[in-house]
Structure 1
Amino acid sequence: MTESQARELAAAVLAGIAPEADLASVRPDEDLRAALDLDSMDFMNFVVGLSERTGLPIPEADVPSLYTPRGLVGYLTAR
């Protein structure tokens, strides 16, 4: 998966959870949860959505890697 594909996927999954959230407005190292006002359930639904759309298991230990756009894209492109 390319960086562009990872961003598009994340934006699509996020749109189903928080339609008003704009992933493009979040700085690369900014915490997505705070920047987009996602509560813990919203973020976990986001992680589950990413896992379902990619077919990749995302272990709980890896979830902190997804907190920032840079970490999220890096995680998805490495797999």
Structure 2
Amino acid sequence: MKPLNNAEALALVRESITQIIPDADFTLVEPDDKFRDVLELDSLDFLSLVELLSERAGVRVDEEDYPDLTTLSDTTRFLVERTGQGS
């Protein structure tokens, strides 16, 4: 996959969350909020999100990367960095 910029990465995160939680209300989520708490994603939802992001962005997401996926801004930054490195 091509490198993502911030807007593309954020759109990908939102689309992926919406696929798991169709009625996710992003007006409640600030960029630095822990979206798992605000949107009430349980562990299985989060693992589904990780899988979707990995598949759609074409990047590997390991368990040690999970702390980088807690807020919208962190997750966006993670995807931009990972796709930019070509890994």
**Normalising to structure 2: TM-score of the pair?**
0.84
The question of 1:63 aligning with 2:87 is answered: no
More contact order relative to length (CA 8 Å, sep ≥ 6): 2
Moved more, 22-31 or 65-74: 22-31
Unaligned stretches of 5+ in structure 1? none
User: Which portions of structure 1, spanning 4 or more consecutive aligned residues, are displaced by more than 6 angstroms?
Assistant: none
What is the one-letter code of the residue matched to 1:50? L
Tell me the equivalent position of 1:3: 6
* Structure 1 position 78, deviation (Å): 0.8
- What is the aligned-residue identity percentage? 37
The question of 1:35 aligning with 2:38 is answered: yes
* Structure 1 position 22, deviation (Å): 2.6
Distance 2:40 2:8 in 1: 24
Distance 2:45 2:73 in 1: 19
For this pair of structures, how many residues does the alignment match? Answer: 79
Tell me the equivalent position of 2:50: 47
Please give the residue correspondences for 1:16-35 in structure 2 after superposition, counting only pairs within 5 Å: 16-35=19-38
Distance 1:27 1:16 in 2: 19
Unaligned stretches of 5+ in structure 2? 83-87
Larger Rg: 2
Instruction: Give the CA RMSD over aligned residues.
Output: 1.1
* Structure 1 position 29, deviation (Å): 1.4
Distance 2:28 2:10 in 1: 12
* Structure 1 position 21, deviation (Å): 0.7
